[in-house]
Structure 1
Amino acid sequence: MKIAVIGGTGLIGTQVVAILKAAGHEAVPHAQSTGVDLLTGEGLPQALRGADAVLNLTNSPTFDSASPAFFEKTMDHLLAAAGQEGVGHAVILSIVGVDHVPDLDYYRAKVLQENVLKAGPVPYSIVRATQFFEFMEAVLSWSADEETVRLPSTPLQPIASADVARAVADVAIGGPLQATRAIAGPDVFALDELGRLTLAARGDERTVTTDDTAGMFAAVPGAVLLPGKDARIAPTHYRDWLTA
């Protein structure tokens, strides 16, 4: 198969490209650095020419009120070009529970992205993943000072980006799901507990204080970011990943 990977130079995209190539597929990474710009549509027809599937793994440059416009415009350009070039399968990566957090601009934007894809002319698949292990450092930084990290006790079931990439690659080479597939890591943690595990593994002596008003995840109600019973569970445990 020939698969165009938009956002193919990012954290997930580079791993997806490597997995697909190792399996014998023609996976071509595309990004602004390669002359493909989803915001303007520049380079898209050429990138999608002859592709059996297209993966959109790009992300909004901000997490604020500008993100809905980004996802709407980029999906419109992608679907127009994919329809024009006869691409038979479009795949995006989204977030488990994203439709249950209306108070976050970025989560509303991802729901909009999903809806634009569903309403478009190209057969589709949506992969929803839980929070990546690799993002924990950024999460810690949102509400930290030199001595303390404040985190809410939001329940999460985080996943390694390598496991996400494998799941996305599997969906890409299959037929369009016309549905959503959820993936998650094997273990549930409270976010403040994750913070303590992470700092301890890094030898960071700062203290984690439980504060259910701190950071972006304070807006998450209850356990809505945990996957349902139909989710596919990845093998990598956070504690093992930390020590690897």
Structure 2
Amino acid sequence: MRIVVVGGTGQTGRLLIEALREEGHEAVPASRSTGIDAFTGVGLKEALTGADVVVDVTNPPDREDAGAFFRTCSENLTAAGREAGVRHHVTLSIIGLERATDLAYYRAKLAQEAAVAAGGVPFTIVRAAQFFEFLDVLMRANTDGDEIRLAPVRVQPVALSDVVARLAAVAGAAPVNGTVEVAGPEVFALDAIGRLLAAPGQRVTSDGTPFFGADIPVDALVAGPSAHLAPTTLAGWRAAAGG
């Protein structure tokens, strides 16, 4: 099966290309560095010719313009996909979008999902929980001196490698024309994770701290009952990462 991975030279895309090739697929990376720009449409027709599946794992260069980026890329990709006869369009998204619309980036992802659903190509949207690899970024963004202020929300973090494995499985299967979820096997309060990962001398507080500037329901980022639960635990991921 010929599978084009848009954003295929980024962190997630590179791992996905490897996983797909290990499964015997012809996996082709598509990104601006390979001469293909989903936002402008440059190179899309040529890239998608002969493709069975397109997987979109792109990220905007500027989060402030994420809405226009995601919507335009998805419209261009589905239009080119229809013309090329693509049979399955897979998009990586985020769990909890409707429950956290105070976040501009989440609204942008909802716009992306809507464009994919309206694009006329059979599709599957894979909503993932926050990556373990994202936790350090989250902590640093909320650190002031020795204090780490984390929102009082619960999360179900997942290893990037598990998300990639799930994306590869979905790409090789039939489209569901809807949404599926993938999350880790454990649910944690975000401040509890912070205490596990904090350096000596740092203290973690969660008194009214917003999640990236937004107040969201405590369980907004937790997966639903039908989610695919990945195998890697937080302890397992930390051990593998040498933490």
Q: In 2, distance between residues paired with 1:133 and 1:72?
A: 27
Structure 2 unmatched runs, 5+: none
Of 212, 223, 229 in structure 2, the residue corresponding to residue 233 of structure 1 is 229
* SS in structure 2 at match of 1:216: coil
Q: In 2, distance between residues paired with 1:21 and 1:154?
A: 38
Q: In 1, distance between residues paired with 2:100 and 2:210?
A: 16
One-letter code of the match for 1:163? Answer: D
Aligned residue number for residue 14 of structure 2: 14
State TM-score, norm by structure 1.
Answer: 0.94
Aligned residue number for residue 169 of structure 1: 168
State TM-score, norm by structure 2.
Answer: 0.95
Of 202, 208, 217 in structure 1, the residue corresponding to residue 204 of structure 2 is 208
Aligned residue number for residue 123 of structure 2: 124
Aligned residue number for residue 83 of structure 1: 82
Shift of 1:190: 0.7
Aligned residue number for residue 53 of structure 1: 53
How many residues of Structure 1 are paired with residues of Structure 2 in the alignment?
A: 240
Aligned residue number for residue 149 of structure 1: 148
Aligned residue number for residue 71 of structure 1: 70
Aligned residue number for residue 218 of structure 2: 222
Q: In 1, distance between residues paired with 2:7 and 2:158?
A: 20
Aligned residue number for residue 96 of structure 1: 95
Q: In 2, distance between residues paired with 1:63 and 1:231?
A: 27
* SS in structure 1 at match of 2:28: strand
Report if the CA contact (8 A) 1:117-1:124 is conserved.
yes
Report if the CA contact (8 A) 1:154-1:218 is conserved.
no
Percent identity over the alignment? Answer: 44
Q: In 2, distance between residues paired with 1:133 and 1:146?
A: 23
Structure 1 unmatched runs, 5+: none
One-letter code of the match for 2:237? Answer: W
Report if the CA contact (8 A) 1:142-1:215 is conserved.
no
* SS in structure 2 at match of 1:91: strand
Report if the CA contact (8 A) 2:152-2:218 is conserved.
no
Report if the CA contact (8 A) 1:96-1:128 is conserved.
yes
Q: In 1, distance between residues paired with 2:195 and 2:214?
A: 17
Shift of 1:28: 0.6
Shift of 1:37: 0.8
Aligned residue number for residue 4 of structure 2: 4
CA RMSD of aligned residues (A): 1.3
One-letter code of the match for 1:224? Answer: A
Per the alignment, do residues 35 and 205 of structure 1 end up closer, same or farther by CA in structure 2, a change over 3 Å counting?
Answer: farther
Report if the CA contact (8 A) 1:11-1:161 is conserved.
no
1:194 aligns with 2:190: no
Shift of 1:213: 2.2
Report if the CA contact (8 A) 1:157-1:189 is conserved.
yes
Report if the CA contact (8 A) 1:154-1:217 is conserved.
no
* SS in structure 1 at match of 2:182: strand
Q: In 1, distance between residues paired with 2:206 and 2:165?
A: 34
Report if the CA contact (8 A) 1:153-1:193 is conserved.
no
Report if the CA contact (8 A) 1:63-1:106 is conserved.
yes
* SS in structure 2 at match of 1:176: coil
Q: In 1, distance between residues paired with 2:213 and 2:222?
A: 13
